[in-house]
Amino acid sequence: MKEDFRPQQDEIKERRDSISVKGGQKKQLKCDTHSVSGCVSQRACVYCGARVVLNPVTDAVHLVHGPIGCASYTWDIRGSLTSGSSLYRNSFSTDLQEEDIIFGGEKKLASAIDELVAKHNPKLVLVYSTCIVGVIGDDLDAVCKAAAARHGIEVIPVQSSGFIGNKAAGYRAACDVLLRLSLPQTANPLPKQQYTINYLGDFNLAGEAWMIKNYLAEIGIKINVVFTGDSSYETLQKASATSLNIIQCAGSMTILAEQMEKRFQIPYMNVSFLGMEDTAESLRKIAAFFENKEFNKNTERLIAREEAKVGHVIESAKQLFAGKKAAIYVGGGFKAISLIKQFREIGIDVVMVGTQTGRKDEYDTIGELVNEGTVVLDDANPSELEKFMTEKGAHLLVGGVKERPLAYKLGIAFIDHNHDRKHPLSGYTGAVNFAREVESTLCSPVWKYAKEGPHHG
Amino acid sequence: MAKNTSENPCKMCMPMGGILAFKGVANAMVMLHGAQGCATYMRRHIAEHFNEPVDVASSSLNEKGTVFGGDENLKSGIENMMRLYRPEMVGVLTTCLAETIGEDIDRITSEFLIEKNLDGFPLVPVPTPGYGDSHFIGFFYTTRKIVEKLAIKTSPTKKINLIIPNISPADIREIKRIMNLFALDYTLLPDFSDTLDAPFSRPFKKIPGGGTPVDQIAAMPGARATIQFGVTVEEGLTAGAYLRDKFGVPLYNVPTPVGIECTDQFLQLLSEISDVPVPQQLQQERGRLVDAMVDAHKITYQGRAAVFGEPENVYVLARACHEMGTTPVVVATGSKANKLKELLQLYLPADTDTAILTGADFSTIQEFALEKEANIALGNSDGKVLTEKSSIPLIRVGFPVHDRKGGQRILTVGYAGALNLLDLVTNTLLEQKLSRYRQSMYDSFYRQNT
């Protein structure tokens, strides 16, 4: 099958290798590169990557060392829930001014840390660097080290100058911090707690980490630490005392899992709790790891019970959605893979898949999963989303806040998969929520008015 | 003691305001010269308020560009953006990063136009360092730079220039309706009433329709007067002052017509400039407003309001509260806004217990709201902390409104806007009283005695 899109006059040559069509000319999708300037990339920066991963550490002071915008635009934007402190829901900033840029911001930063420690008495202060801090050369390490000594608490710099890469570099910076926090405080390694695991790459959006915790508890497995949903300074320190790391958000957390395997001999596996199929498969995988017959039995009982409970909802959704086509544009490749499967579960074919920061191996998997003719794009922009959704006749798009108005303006249904959503999409509850959300948007009467009307004569 | 920390900001950065101003020019596209994140975050912020696609390009400055200069990134970025969107006008805003490494966007953009044989194409570079001031200043300054770049000496016209601050699309449409009722010809800048509140229509347009046409901006020097809603901003930063100083267009710098007095003042001014009496329809609207104010006055008199947001908006909102008998106990902005205090003190009685806070963050606003026993708040969504932490109900006005739909439709200007505000304040106060009075009476009198 030939490529079924034609280069247009307004095509940007540098973007050509970042777009592929399954069954089209064989080529390797270009990914993990810098965004092409002027193309309205949907990607964010290093600071953003670090901030979204670390922000759910609930009892930390998250202090942004930089001008006000960086703190302003990231204030409480995650729907991460807490069972303890709410300190993370504040946005602290040194609010750098022109004179700080000229004379350096180190003194201001030191005073800011002092003020915040005095007021909030935290055990942990995370100091994020932003673009200009990297340029003016403030010595974040030194300021943090001195503050830590002064107050007797952890004050950790997060090296997240915006321009030194993209969001993925921010994930790495966050993982560096998390690893540092996980290092045992004593010379001896912490004893491994039996039948416990760490849950990496879940940010407890709408309580999703709690939901998975309940499933695992029923099987007989305890969650040791969640990175970073509803985590705290103290829980993070116990991270090395466990037998297995499971990773939900592979994009942000694989680096940490690799490091923990190297240092603490904790093996890791990827899991996904999006959709019934992935949820069941992941629970089985986790249970199997412990080679405990009781666990396997408990898992099967849980799966059978939950599937009986929600199976008919998914089945009837499938009937309802027959013939519908979906487009995906999300942050990470692993999430895109889960979504392709989840759409299949409810009878919807995926015709376009894009991610912000997908990796080569993830795009390979995507390529295997999708049907002939499906368009796959890395770092897509609104023009490309519009073009391919229109060409492929997508009926709905799943994406984030920025993509929603575009879909709606095109008269296409939309599913929120962003981090400020207020309903869980994980596990069996999430599978039902997902199906219902698809129904609420695909089956809304609104599209009738968007199609018909006086303007159509 | 001056704080070294901002705890929950009540402002955003300069380029944010710049984007909004550029979105009010017809067929314009805007590019941020800086790292990729700035554009993404600002797009998200604006899109969530307006529920519209908001395309803003970035020069995606990386390490190489930061060290060796961003000429290449910016030039190829503008070219790519122009190929994708085919805009009739291009705005370029700097970010902290570009400013700190000393990017000369005037030179780079001039070179670009020459290299691409685009001499004369309206390309407007605006320095908007994120650490310069807030988005409020970015908005006014960008509007001025647009006029500086595009305005040319023109023969006199009958038109009136209207320079507006960051008000809602619904507000802009109301201003236009008023102008039309006076049968006045005008140029309103920046006009994002359609571009950021576009009707659903086919086919999809990459750049939504509407906005002030470039040729109309060019002709602004011929106008018989400029009316500018910008009393709290330093005059030197405004387009109105530029048009006056450079082309001799008389400038009337008046408050945004929010509340009864400021609307009266605006209509009076229009009437004087045009020599047309205030239209009957508007007089009737005023009558209805006064009637409603009478109906509500005992309730609104109970209000103690914390008003926060951009200086231009809080100034008139505080006055509108005061008019309806609600005491503005806290009036706050994150911007520097040196003129705000002086201006407000002219209108609030000397014995009014009002804290006027500039350069404030929400931790300070919260502190004062509690101390002054505010029972209602007016401002953007970020003020939800006042409700969450201190149970002060929030009326959402201003920008951004993220946690409710319809931020673009919140009407505050004209008599219609005043009526809308009055109802919101009245009903919020009523709701608060009625939902609690049974329990509070029970707790105060019955339980106490048994």
pLDDT value at position A305?
98
Do A318 and A424 reside in the same domain of the chain? yes
Is B391 part of a structural domain of the chain?
yes
* Average pLDDT score over chain A: 92
Residue A227 is assigned to a structural domain of this protein: yes
Q: Which pLDDT does position A6 carry in this prediction?
A: 38
Q: In sequence order, what are the residues at sequence separation of 6 or more whose Cβ sits closer than 8 angstroms to the Cβ of residue A300? A: none
Query: How far is the alpha carbon of A447 from chain B, nearest alpha carbon, in Å?
Result: 11
By Cβ distance, the residue of A14, A112, A162 closest to B35 is A162
pLDDT of residue A10: 65
A contacts of B76 (beta carbons < 8 Å): 37-38
| Predicted confidence (pLDDT) per residue in B79-137, tens digit | 999 999 999 999 999 999 999 999 999 999 999 999 999 999 999 999 999 898 999 99
Q: How confident is the model at residue A454 (pLDDT cuts 50, 70, 90)?
A: low
What is the pLDDT at residue A455? 53
The answer to whether A144 and A110 have CB atoms below 8 angstroms apart is: no
The sign of the dihedral angle between the CA atoms of B237, A68, B363, B50 is: positive
Q: Which amino acid is at B362?
A: F
Is B47 within 8 Å of A166 when comparing Cβ atoms?
no
Give the list of residues 6+ apart from residue A50 with CB closer than 8 angstroms, or none.
Answer: A128, A158, A160, A170, A171, A173, A174, A177
The nearest CA of chain A is from the CA of B345 a distance in Å of: 28
Measure B86 CA to nearest chain A CA, in Å: 9
Residue A456 has pLDDT above 60, yes or no: no
pLDDT for residue A452: 64
- The Cα–Cα gap between A26 and A38 comes to 28
Same domain, B182 and B232: yes
Distance between CA atoms of residues B424 and B422, nearest Å = 5
Shared domain for A50 and A112, answered yes or no, is yes
The reply to whether B169 and B249 lie within a common domain is yes
Facing B101 at nearest CB: one of A12, A95, A135: A135
Same domain assignment for residues A249 and A342: no
Same domain as A60, residue A145 = yes
- One domain, residues B92 and B122: yes
Mean pLDDT of B5-16: 97
The C-alpha of A341 sits at a distance from chain B's nearest C-alpha, in angstroms, of 28
**pTM score over 0.80:** yes
Is residue B422 packed enough to be buried (19+ CB in 10 Å), middle (13-18) or exposed (0-12)? buried
Do A421 and A326 sit in the same domain of this protein?
yes
Query: Do A272 and A206 share a domain, yes or no?
Result: yes
Mean pLDDT for the stretch of residues A17-30:
83
Strand order in the sheet with A92-93: A154-158, A124-129, A61-65, A92-93, B6-7
- Residues B198, B265, single domain; the answer is yes
Q: What is the DSSP track for A14-74? A: GGGGGEEETTSS--PPP-SSPPPTTS------HHHHHHHHHTTBTTSEEEEES-HHHHHTT
Helices B311-323 & B259-274 angle (0-180, nearest 10): 110
pLDDT in tens, A94-151: 999 999 999 999 999 999 999 999 999 999 999 999 999 989 999 999 999 999 999 9
For residue B356, give how far its alpha carbon lies from the nearest alpha carbon of chain A (Å). Answer: 21
Q: What is the CATH number of the domain that holds A60?
A: 3.40.50.1980
The reply to whether B2 falls in a domain is no
With CA atoms as reference, report the closest residue to B23 among B108, B103, B106, B85: B85
Element (H, E) at B181: helix B169-181
Quote the ipTM score: 0.94
- At residue A166 the predicted structure's pLDDT band, cuts being 50, 70 and 90, is confident
- Is residue B262 included in any domain, yes or no? yes
> Could you give the number of structural domains in chain A?
3
Q: What are A370-424's pLDDT values in tens digits?
A: 999 999 999 999 999 999 999 999 999 999 889 999 999 999 999 998 888 889 9
Question: pLDDT, tens digit, for every residue of A335-357?
Answer: 999 999 999 999 999 999 999 98
| Interface size, chain A vs chain B, as Cβ–Cβ contacts under 8 Å | 227
In this structure, the answer to whether residues B288 and B417 fall within a common structural domain is: yes
Write the residue in B9, B55, B85 that is nearest to A75 by C-beta.
Answer: B9
Per-residue model confidence (pLDDT) at position A1: 35
**One domain, residues B224 and B79:** no
| Chain B CB contacts of A381 below 8 Å | 84
A406, B16: Cβ pair inside 8 Å?
no
Which ranges in A59-184 belong to alpha helices (H)? Answer: 68-72, 98-103, 106-120, 131-136, 140-151, 167-182
Measured distance CA(B256)–CA(A170) in Å, rounded: 43
> Can you give the pLDDT at residue B405?
95
Q: Please answer whether residues B214 and B122 qualify as being in contact, where contact means their C-beta atoms are separated by less than 8 angstroms.
A: yes
On whether residue B82 sits in a domain, the answer given is: yes
Do A47 and A69 touch, CB atoms closer than 8 A?
no
Q: How far is CA A351 from the centre of its chain?
A: 22
Q: Which two tokens stand for residue A327?
A: 């487009």
**Residue of A9, A72, A107 to mutate when probing chain B, most B C-beta within 10 A:** A72
Question: Distance, in angstroms, between A406 CA and closest chain B CA?
Answer: 5
Domain identity same for B252 and B192: yes
Q: CA angle at residue A162 from A157 to A163, to 5 degrees?
A: 125
Chain B residue numbers with beta carbons less than 8 Å from the beta carbon of A50 are: none
- Residue pointed to by tokens 């709408």: A206
Q: How far apart are the C-alpha atoms of A362 and B43, rounded to whole Å?
A: 27
Q: Which of B1, B3, B5, B310 to mutate to test the interface with A (most CBs of A within 10 A)?
A: B5
CA of residue B246 relative to chain centroid, distance: 25
Instruction: Name the closest residue on chain B to residue A36, using Cα atoms.
Output: B60
**In chain B, pLDDT over 70 holds for what percent of residues?**
99
Q: Report d(CA A389, CA A367) in Å as an integer.
A: 18
Q: Cβ of A10 and B382 within 8 Å?
A: no
> Does residue B56 have a pLDDT over 80?
yes
Cα B34 from Cα A457, distance rounded (Å): 46
In this structure, the answer to whether residues B316 and B254 fall within a common structural domain is no
Taking residues B256-278, report their average pLDDT. Answer: 97
Tell whether B154 is covered by a domain. no
Task: Give the mean model confidence (pLDDT) for residues A263-274.
Answer: 95
Q: Do the domain assignments include residue A294?
A: yes
CA B255-B261-B262 angle, 5° bins: 20
Question: In whole angstroms, what is the distance from residue B425 CA to residue B446 CA?
Answer: 31
Same domain assignment for residues A148 and A213: no
Indicate whether A322 and A443 sit together in one domain.
Answer: yes
Could you say which of B235, B256, B274 is where a domain stops?
B274
Residue A38 lies in a domain: no
User: Is A34 close to B76, i.e. CB distance below 8 A?
Assistant: no
Q: Do B41 and A44 touch (CB under 8 A)?
A: yes
CA dist A336 and A104 (Å) reads 43
Is A357 within 8 Å of chain B by CB?
no
- Of the pLDDT bands very low, low, confident and very high (cuts 50, 70, 90), residue A7 is very low
pLDDT score of A2: 36
Residues A23 and A2: their CA atoms lie apart, in Å, by 7
pLDDT of residue A34: 85
The pLDDT value recorded for residue B349 is 83
Question: Using CA atoms, how far apart are residues A42 and A402, in angstroms rounded to an integer?
Answer: 8
Residue A162 has pLDDT above 90, yes or no: no
A64 and A165 belong to one structural domain: yes
Q: Are A387 and A413 part of one and the same domain? A: yes
Domain count, chain B: 3
**Residue owning tokens 């004179």:** A99
Strand B28-33: give its sheet, edge to edge: B57-58, B28-33, B89-94, B123-126
Q: Which chain B residue lies closest to A11 (C-alpha atoms)?
A: B84
pLDDT at A4 over 80: no
* CA-only gyration radius of chain A, Å: 23
Q: Is the dihedral of CA B230, B234, B239, B240 positive or negative?
A: positive
Q: Which of B50, B96, B198 sits opposite A131 (nearest CB)?
A: B96
Question: Domain check: are A174 and A209 in the same one?
Answer: no
Out of B4, B38, B63, the one facing A115 most closely (by C-beta) is: B4
Rounded CA separation A354/A377 (Å)? 5
Q: What is the pLDDT of residue A335?
A: 92
Provide the pLDDT confidence category of residue A5 given band limits of 50, 70 and 90: very low
Distance, in angstroms, between B222 CA and closest chain A CA?
35
Q: Which residue of A has its CA nearest to B1?
A: A115
Q: In angstroms, rounded to a whole number, what is the distance separating the alpha carbons of residues A198 and A178?
A: 13
Question: In this complex, do B334 and A48 lie within 8 Å of one another by their Cβ atoms?
Answer: no
User: Which whole number is the average pLDDT over B37-55?
Assistant: 95
Helices B105-115 & B71-85 angle (0-180, nearest 10): 50
- Same-domain check for residues B314 and B428: yes
Structural domain boundaries enclosing B374: 281-437
Using CA atoms, how far apart are residues A81 and A210, in angstroms rounded to an integer? 9
Helix/strand/coil (H, E, C) string of A224-246? Answer: EEEEECCECHHHHHCCCCCCEEE
Asked if B334 and B428 sit in the same domain, the reply is: yes
Q: Does A446 touch chain B (CB under 8 A)?
A: no
Q: Is residue B8 part of a domain?
A: no
Q: B100 to chain A: nearest residue by CA?
A: A132
Please check whether residue B398 is in contact with residue B409, taking contact to mean a CB–CB distance below 8 angstroms: no
The whole-number pLDDT of residue A12 equals 86
Residue A66 lies inside a defined structural domain of this protein:
yes
Q: With respect to residue B30, please indicate whether it lies within any of the assigned structural domains.
A: yes
Is residue A9 domain-resident? no
- CATH number for B122: 3.40.50.1980
Domain with A347, as residue range(s), is 311-448
In contact, B31 and B330? CB cutoff 8 Å: no
pLDDT over threshold 60, residue A284:
yes
Same domain, A60 and A118: yes
pLDDT in tens, A399-413: 988 999 999 999 999
Which amino acid, one-letter code, is at B448?
Q
C-beta separation of A306 from A277 below 8 A: no
Query: In chain B, which residues have their Cβ closer than 8 Å to the Cβ of A10?
Result: 83-84, 86
- Residues listed for chain B: 450
Average pLDDT, chain B: 95
Tokens describing residue B49: 């308020």
Q: What is the pLDDT of residue B125?
A: 98
Q: Give the strands of the sheet with B355-357, arranged side by side.
A: B355-357, B327-332, B304-308, B376-379, B394-396
Nearest residue in A to B77, CA atom: A38
Per-residue model confidence (pLDDT) at position A397:
98
Residue B57 is assigned to a structural domain of this protein: yes
User: Do B286 and B430 fall within a single domain?
Assistant: yes
Q: How many CA atoms lie within 13 A of A313 on its CB side?
A: 19
Last residue of a domain, one of B274, B292, B313: B274
What CA–CA distance (Å, rounded) separates B29 from B79? Answer: 12
Boundary of a domain, candidates A271, A299, A327:
A299
Domain boundary among B274, B306, B332: B274
- B28 φ/ψ angles, rounded to the nearest 5 degrees: -100, 150
Q: Percent of chain B, pLDDT > 90?
A: 92
Provide the shortest C-alpha distance from residue B216 to chain A (in Å).
Answer: 27
Closest chain B residue to A96, measured at CA: B131
Q: Is A444 on the interface with B (CB under 8 A)?
A: no
What does the pLDDT read at residue A457?
A: 41
Which tokens belong to A298? Answer: 């408990």
Share of chain A above pLDDT 90, in %: 81
Within a 10 A sphere around the Cβ of B72, how many other Cβ atoms?
Answer: 14
CB B93 within 8 A of CB B104: no
Q: Which of A299, A320, A341 is the last residue of a domain?
A: A299
**Chain B hits for A115, Cβ within 8 Å:** 3-5
**Does B292 share its domain with B409?**
yes
In angstroms, the separation between the Cα of residue A131 and the nearest Cα of chain B is 6
Handedness of CA A405, A407, A408, A413 (dihedral sign): negative
B204/A75 touch (CB, cutoff 8 Å), yes or no: no
B240 compared with A6, residue with greater pLDDT = B240
| Residue among B16, B35, B56 whose CB faces A163 most closely | B35
**Cβ proximity of A190 and A241 under 8 Å:** yes
CA distances from A342 to A276, A323, A376, B11 (A): 8, 15, 17, 40
User: Would the pLDDT of A51 be above 80?
Assistant: yes
